[in-house]
Amino acid sequence: MNYRIVARTLGTMFLIIACCMIPSAIVAIYYKDDISLSSFLLVSFIMMVIGIFLKTVPKNNSAIRVREGYLIVVLTWFMVCFFCALPYYISGAIPNFFDALFESTSGVTTTGSSILTDIEALPKAMIFWRGFTHWMGGLGILTMAIAILPALGISGFQMAKAEASNSNLDKTSPKMTDMAKMLYKTYFTLTGLCITLLLLGGMGWLDASAHAFSAIATGGFSSRNLSVGHFNSVYIDTILCIFMVIGSISFPLLYAAFVRKKHKTLLKNEEIRLFAILLLIGSVFTSLNLLSRGVYDSIGDSIRYGFFQTISVMTTTGFSTTDYNLWPSAIIILLLMLVFCGGCSGSTAGGVKVIRILIFFKLLWREFKRKLHPKAIYAIKVKNEIANSDVSITAATYIIFFFILCLAGGIVISFDPGTDLITAFTASFASTTNLGPGFGLVGPYGNYGFFQGWSKALLSFLMIVGKLEIFAVLMLFTPQFWNPDK
């Protein structure tokens, strides 16, 4: 293990996150909030000192191998979640450290679950900071680092590979620096467009920024206690639906489609087609069920709330315009299935990703055909290419690990006093999928504040594991990872 390159790279990460606190500090100055301003400046200063110290570690090898890549990714995400919690804690906005850590982790991992009972009572700078942590974590803080590390003599390829474990990155792709810059240009443009459209819908700049950060990052933090339902606007609901869907589509494909004018790439992509079909069928089913059960009296309301909540859940954003805990059980089951699927690979959405669902069912279909014709040879094709057996096995293994992790988390959390089984298991499921709001006591109008400190720590861990897609974190707990001879 090349610990020197790990230390130097983490030093760069510290400096990046320190700079990311500047916008929130500016907001604190605007609102004349000296307490929030001092907390941001203090934490930023501490991170800069640590970053500069780590950058002084002498070089011995500039190559980041697979092991270093995974270690840097995992340590970075844990480090970012910890230090992003300090402004909440130091300022007194969230006086309990476990609560601050939970809120920070939920923000950085774009999960959107919260311990707060009165969001609107927070200082304005902290409301902005909550949304901004979504925006930072949405595309991956590491992508920002990948764009600048080569200039420092450090290759970012292994870091990107470790973070995007299901993507098709390889060294025949454009330079990692160019790819990262391309992704961030797309990300900046979409964020600015979303803010502008929300401002036109009557939102103030703080509300528009917070909701745009959450929508494009598929996070779910709102600046209002009633989430998007506070605005009661069809226009705002529609704009957020559009950007939640956009945030759930592969950003490289979005760039190719709208910047390079290769629009057919979206239509030809098998994963995006399946994502769109599942989203449309789920939204229509939910709307019809709401209408037939008399939950809403008009077709318009059934479509409005049915489509918004289905999109919010499947994209793992977690915005709410109503309390879907009160909806028929058939809809609840459907929503659980959709959030399990999640968004597309290369997007900011959580879940197991549609591509794995696609591969898994193709694998099942192949095995079914083999039973009928044992001597025949069937290939699994994904995106018009034959997928090797390793890809299929990895997808199936990931899904199995995902269920085991959610089940284990739910069992442990069920020991928290006053927690029923539905709340425990959906809290574990919502954290691992990065959905945020679950069902039961952690529903759209509930929160996670009643959990004990150890439960919040476990849920925070599940959020990070879910964001890094399980394998990157679990790999660090294997003896082979630390064995230099393996």
Q: Domain-by-domain residue ranges, the chain?
A: 3-178
* The predicted structure's pLDDT at residue 173: 46
DSSP-derived secondary structure for 150-194: GGGT---HHHHHHHSTTS---TTSSPHHHHHHHHHHHHHHHHHHH
Q: What percent of the chain has pLDDT over 70?
A: 88
Strand 385-387 and strand 380-382: the pairing is antiparallel
* The predicted structure's pLDDT at residue 269: 84
* The predicted structure's pLDDT at residue 175: 60
Lowest mean pLDDT among 7-11, 304-308, 479-483: 479-483
* The predicted structure's pLDDT at residue 147: 55
* The predicted structure's pLDDT at residue 53: 93
CA distance 114 to 484: 41
Average pLDDT rounded to a whole number, residues 49-69: 81
Lowest mean pLDDT among 62-71, 267-276, 286-295: 62-71
Asked if residues 459 and 113 have their Cβ atoms less than 8 Å apart, the reply is: yes
CA distance 194 to 209: 8
Question: Residues 184, 185, 189, 192: is their CA dihedral positive or negative?
Answer: positive
Over residues 180-220, the pLDDT tens digits come to 777 888 889 999 999 999 999 999 999 999 999 999 999 98
* The predicted structure's pLDDT at residue 158: 53
Q: How far is CA 44 from CA 9, 55, 214, in A?
A: 18, 16, 23
Average pLDDT rounded to a whole number, residues 216-242: 93
* The predicted structure's pLDDT at residue 186: 84
CA distance 220 to 118: 16
Confidence check: pLDDT of 377 > 80? no
> What are the phi and psi torsion angles at 385 (to 5°)?
-125, 145
Confidence check: pLDDT of 295 > 60? yes
Helical ranges in 293-379 per DSSP H: 299-314, 329-341, 354-372
> What confidence category does residue 150 fall into, taking pLDDT thresholds of 50, 70 and 90?
low
- Tell me the pTM: 0.89
Task: Let me know if 381 is exposed, middle or buried by CB neighbors in 10 A (0-12, 13-18, 19+).
Answer: exposed
Strand-pair partners of 15: none
* The predicted structure's pLDDT at residue 1: 74
Query: What is the chain's mean pLDDT, rounded?
Result: 86
> What confidence category does residue 3 fall into, taking pLDDT thresholds of 50, 70 and 90?
confident
CA distance 212 to 243: 8
> What confidence category does residue 267 fall into, taking pLDDT thresholds of 50, 70 and 90?
confident
Strand-pair partners of 381: 386
DSSP-derived secondary structure for 206-217: HHHHHHHHHHHT
* The predicted structure's pLDDT at residue 171: 43
Average pLDDT rounded to a whole number, residues 255-281: 83
CA distance 333 to 355: 21
Q: How far is CA 134 from CA 176, 191, 348, 476, in A?
A: 23, 12, 10, 25
Q: How far is CA 144 from CA 138, 183, 212, 255, 484, in A?
A: 11, 9, 19, 17, 30
Confidence check: pLDDT of 86 > 50? yes
CA distance 448 to 94: 14
DSSP-derived secondary structure for 17-51: HHHHTHHHHHHHHHTT-HHHHHHHHHHHHHHHHHH
Confidence check: pLDDT of 343 > 70? yes
Element (H, E) at 62: none
* The predicted structure's pLDDT at residue 207: 95
CA distance 386 to 131: 41
Asked if residues 272 and 250 have their Cβ atoms less than 8 Å apart, the reply is: yes
| DSSP conformational letter for 228 | G
Confidence check: pLDDT of 451 > 70? yes
> What confidence category does residue 149 fall into, taking pLDDT thresholds of 50, 70 and 90?
low
> What confidence category does residue 26 fall into, taking pLDDT thresholds of 50, 70 and 90?
very high
CA distance 41 to 24: 10
Confidence check: pLDDT of 155 > 60? no
Confidence check: pLDDT of 176 > 50? yes
Confidence check: pLDDT of 65 > 90? no
Lowest mean pLDDT among 349-353, 381-385, 425-429, 460-464: 381-385
Asked if residues 434 and 110 have their Cβ atoms less than 8 Å apart, the reply is: yes
CA distance 42 to 16: 15
Place of tokens 């500016």: 26
Question: Residues 245, 231, 449, 95: is their CA dihedral positive or negative?
Answer: positive
CA distance 306 to 303: 5
